[in-house]
Amino acid sequence: MDTSRFIQFFDDAIEPDHALLGGKCASLVSMTAAGMPVPPGFAVTTALYDTFIEQAGIAEQIRALLAGLDPEDTDQVDRVSARIRADICSRPVPAGLREQTLQAYQSLQSRFGSAVPVAVRSSATAEDLPNASFAGQQDTYLWLNDADTVLEHIRRCWASLYTSRAITYRLKNGIPDEGLSMAVAVQKMVNSKVSGVAITIDPTNGDRSKVTVDSSYGVGEMVVSGLVTPDNIVVDKVMLTIVTESVGDKHAELVPDSTMGTLVEREVDQERRSRRSLSDEELRSIVTMAKRAEKHYGCPQDIEWAFDSDLPDGNNLLLLQSRPETVWSTKAKQAPTASTTTAPAMAGFNIGSITATMLSRASA
């Protein structure tokens, strides 16, 4: 057994192997190799997950439970989901797999002057594909502060491969469970003062000469989950000038509480709500980075970004994720339509996905 494939650091100069790393981790490895500002971390690979499932003796049981499942029968899907996730969360992880993960966590911590919190993020092999936006179907956990907690939440990420919504999504989109697997990213937590998403296209009309940015205060999950109405700015991709902007309410932010050692929701005062959360310089830097990601991948991108309070201003923009845009990119090629109207603020997102908002608009 090649145990060297169980743990892969993003900066190990490895190939971004989607089958081994899943969509998210493969993207993080690729962006790190391209010199983009990705927070350091490592992948608990699909090889480790597959070995756990095999040694736990539940692979055949999972296949049997999923066989013939009707995605319209929500009660049945919920029962199957609960059974599979309970098995994944209750079976012991072999000592050797656990030890390798602990060593990787300690190695990551040794890169910093003191202990830092981490994020634990699911990275399924079925996500971030060019023809399917799988964003939001598995779990992300933030601001984890010790090894045992990290190990527990890696297991929860594995189990989230079989949430009801993930099972239903795969069934309705014809994505087979055969060969499905889960890697997990363990990554330095970004102490975000401002964060959000950007897409290298105008999602209202598919105009590739624009970049659309949504931003708010604190950690970005409140933006991408639709819990706040962010600022929405459409920028000319070439001139880097603002085409339209709408200042969102931004009534709350997720920020770290050093006493509790976790993230807490805090109300944003009226003065900060009423002004844009990004300076012109910060906005230009986001658009420039988004363009760089688009050039790297060769297609329109949907990115997550954050400004880290722990880093000096001017050098604190970090790229958290970049995935293919999946709505306009899958349409038949046609000349882009110039934007002629003011784009409204975007308020509803699945985790990390502007495309979910576009779909909801289209059905409205």
pTM for the model stands at 0.83
Domain that holds residue 300: 192-363
Sequence-separated contacts (24+) of 108-115 with Cβ below 8 Å:
108/9, 108/40, 108/41, 108/42, 108/186, 108/188, 111/40, 112/188, 115/145
Last residue of a domain, one of 153, 170, 188: 188
Cα(320)–Cα(302) distance, rounded to whole angstroms? 11
Domain count, the chain: 2
% of the chain residues with pLDDT over 70:
87
- Characterize 226-251 residue by residue with b for buried, 16 or more Cβ atoms within 10 angstroms of its Cβ, and e for exposed: bbbbbbbbbbebeeeebbbbbbbebb
Q: Are 124 and 161 in contact (CB under 8 A)?
A: yes
Cα(300)–Cα(248) distance, rounded to whole angstroms? 25
99-138 per-position pLDDT tens digit: 999 999 999 999 998 999 999 999 999 765 555 444 445 6
Give the pairing type, strands 242-246 and 252-257.
unpaired
Q: Of 137-141, 166-170, 297-301, which gets the smallest average pLDDT?
A: 137-141
Note whether 243 and 336 are same-domain residues.
yes
330-362 per-position pLDDT tens digit: 664 444 544 433 333 333 333 333 333 333 323
Helix (H, G, I), strand (E, B) or coil at 27: helix
Q: What is the pLDDT of residue 109?
A: 97
Edge to edge, the sheet with strand 231-236 lists 242-246, 231-236, 210-217, 192-199, 301-308, 317-324
Note whether 352 and 223 are same-domain residues.
yes
Note whether 156 and 298 are same-domain residues.
no
Backbone φ and ψ of 146, nearest 5° = -150, 165
Note whether 201 and 184 are same-domain residues.
no
For residue 282, pLDDT beyond 70: yes
Band (pLDDT 50/70/90 cuts) for residue 328 is: confident
Last residue of a domain, one of 156, 188, 220: 188
Backbone φ and ψ of 46, nearest 5° = -65, -30
CATH number reported for the structural domain that contains residue 40 in this entry: 3.30.1490.20
Q: Are 199 and 325 in contact (CB under 8 A)?
A: yes
Q: Of 86-95, 124-133, 248-257, 289-298, which gets the smallest average pLDDT?
A: 124-133
Q: Of 61-65, 200-204, 212-216, 325-329, which gets the smallest average pLDDT?
A: 325-329
Helix (H, G, I), strand (E, B) or coil at 64: helix
CATH number reported for the structural domain that contains residue 247 in this entry: 3.30.470.20
Helix axes 46-56, 95-109, angle to 10 degrees: 150
DSSP 293-328: HHHHHTS-EEEEEEEETTS-TTS-EEEEEEEE--SG
Q: What is the pLDDT of residue 138?
A: 60
Give start and end residues of each alpha helix (H) in 67-220. Answer: 74-90, 95-109, 147-159, 164-172
SS3 helix, strand, coil % of the chain, rounded to 5?
35, 25, 40
Note whether 212 and 347 are same-domain residues.
yes
Note whether 221 and 105 are same-domain residues.
no
210-262 per-position pLDDT tens digit: 999 999 999 998 998 889 999 999 999 999 999 999 999 999 999 988 778 78
User: Residue 275: in which H helix or E strand, if any?
Assistant: none
Last residue of a domain, one of 166, 188, 210: 188
Distance (Å) of CA 211 to CA 143, 235, 341: 30, 5, 15
Band (pLDDT 50/70/90 cuts) for residue 140 is: confident
Note whether 21 and 161 are same-domain residues.
yes
Q: Of 90-99, 193-202, 328-337, which gets the smallest average pLDDT?
A: 328-337
Note whether 156 and 7 are same-domain residues.
yes
58-75 per-position pLDDT tens digit: 999 999 999 989 999 999
Note whether 170 and 276 are same-domain residues.
no
Mean pLDDT of 18-26: 95
Note whether 148 and 215 are same-domain residues.
no
Strand partners, 187: 41, 119
Band (pLDDT 50/70/90 cuts) for residue 1 is: low
Tokens, residue 264: 């807490």
DSSP 158-174: HHGGG-HHHHHHHHHTT
Q: What is the pLDDT of residue 136?
A: 47
In terms of Cβ atoms closer than 10 Å to its own Cβ (0-12, 13-18, 19+), residue 341 is exposed
Q: What is the pLDDT of residue 261?
A: 79
Note whether 164 and 215 are same-domain residues.
no
C-alpha torsion 356→358→359→361, nearest 10:
120
% of the chain residues with pLDDT over 90:
76
Note whether 219 and 167 are same-domain residues.
no
Mean pLDDT of the chain: 88
